[in-house]
Amino acid sequence: MTEVTTPRVAIIGAGAVGRGWATVAVAQGWGVTLFDATTAVAEDARAEVVERVRRLRRMGLAQDGDAKTGLGAFHTGRSLLHAVTDADWIIDAGSDDLGQRQRSLEQVEQVDRRAAVITSSSNRHHASQLCARLRRPERLLCVNPLPPMEFMPVVEVVPGPLTDPACVEAVRFWLRRLGRSPIVLHREVPGNLSGRLAAAVWRECIHLVLEGVIAVDDLDRAFSAGPAVAWSAAGPLLEQYLAAGERDLNLHISDLLGAYEEWWTSLSRRERLDADEQHRLVRALEKAYHARLPTLRVEREQRLAALVHPARKS
């Protein structure tokens, strides 16, 4: 399958995730057909993707020639059949409803090419669940990008127990050609890597806010200018490997665990938020940010664009 160097791409679902995939593939000059059951959504998505590709070109993150080729070969599908019939790579970016996605994938299989590889972008469902209605489940794997995809090179690749390793290799090859940095998980786990890390971080952050230890905006500012910068320069495990310096690594890790084990016992154990806690959290978020919303959005995008250049070197 890896013989296909430049796959024809079909994207099913024109929500945020489908738009991200379309942006990245079109910017690379690949032929992309985007399909959504709601035509108005597909048309709106088309306009947004065109604008995002042009922006990447202005920022020097897409080649002029590639972007021009890609924009010329970017279509919305008139039907599912029309979208997937020629595709080498079918990207399922549908709703979060498991049953709907299983039925949609079943329909895809009725009209696609046998040689096509199917990837599902979902951090809520695994390939082993999504393939339930497929006759050839070995062609399916999960591939989860982070938003906004054009600035976030990391993509989690999670094969199911039935996935053909050749399909995994084909997808990794295509992802690298798209400038992505594929990371393979050896096993399906709830939330995959990024979801679990976000859940662990959020649990502790909202605990500290709800307990009155720190204000929402102070916490965000401390996190974004502190640990997040350190972990952008080196992941949390490498950071401590380097922090050991010339000391014996065993001793360094022992000391570190001495502190962590003390703190682990006091970290939040929350497994849910009750209605009152959720209300207090939403109110605290509104209070911290509501008045500055438009500015904050622009500042975040500017910072992301500035950060992505050093980050892409990794």
Which parts of 284-313 interact with its own copies (CB under 8 A)? 285-286, 288-289, 293, 296-297, 300-301, 303-304, 306-308, 310-313
CA atoms within 13 A on the CB side of 164: 16
Distances (CA, A) of 291 to 14, 205, 295: 31, 22, 9
Is residue 59 a contact residue for its own copies (CB under 8 A)? Answer: no
Residues 115-134 that bind its own copies (CB under 8 A): 123-124
Residues with Cβ within 8 Å of residue 170, at least 6 apart in sequence: 1, 2, 4, 117
Q: Phi/psi at 203 (nearest 5 deg)?
A: -55, -50
* Of the candidate residues 181, 247, 291, 295, the single one contacting its own copies (CB under 8 A): 181
CB closer to its own copies, 86 vs 301 = 301
Residue 234 CB, shortest distance to its own copies, in Å, is 4
Residues 78-117 that bind its own copies (CB under 8 A): none
Q: Which stretch binds its own copies (CB under 8 A): 1-9, 27-35, 38-46, 176-184?
A: 176-184
Q: Degrees (nearest 5) of the Cα angle 294, 299, 301?
A: 100
Distances (CA, A) of 144 to 1, 124, 215, 245, 283: 21, 10, 32, 35, 31
**Size of interface with its own copies, in residues (CB under 8 A):** 107
Instruction: State both tokens at 272.
Output: 């849910």
Here's the x/- map for its own copies, 227-256, by CB under 8 A: it reads as: xxxxxxxxxxxxxxxxx-----xx--xx-x
Instruction: State both tokens at 173.
Output: 């090859």
The residue type at 241: Y
Q: Which stretch binds its own copies (CB under 8 A): 20-28, 102-110, 165-173, 214-222?
A: 214-222
Is residue 184 a contact residue for its own copies (CB under 8 A)? Answer: yes
Is residue 41 a contact residue for its own copies (CB under 8 A)? Answer: no
Instruction: State both tokens at 60.
Output: 């020097």
Residue 122 CB, shortest distance to its own copies, in Å, is 11
The residue type at 301: E
Residue 52 CB, shortest distance to its own copies, in Å, is 15
Is residue 259 a contact residue for its own copies (CB under 8 A)? Answer: yes
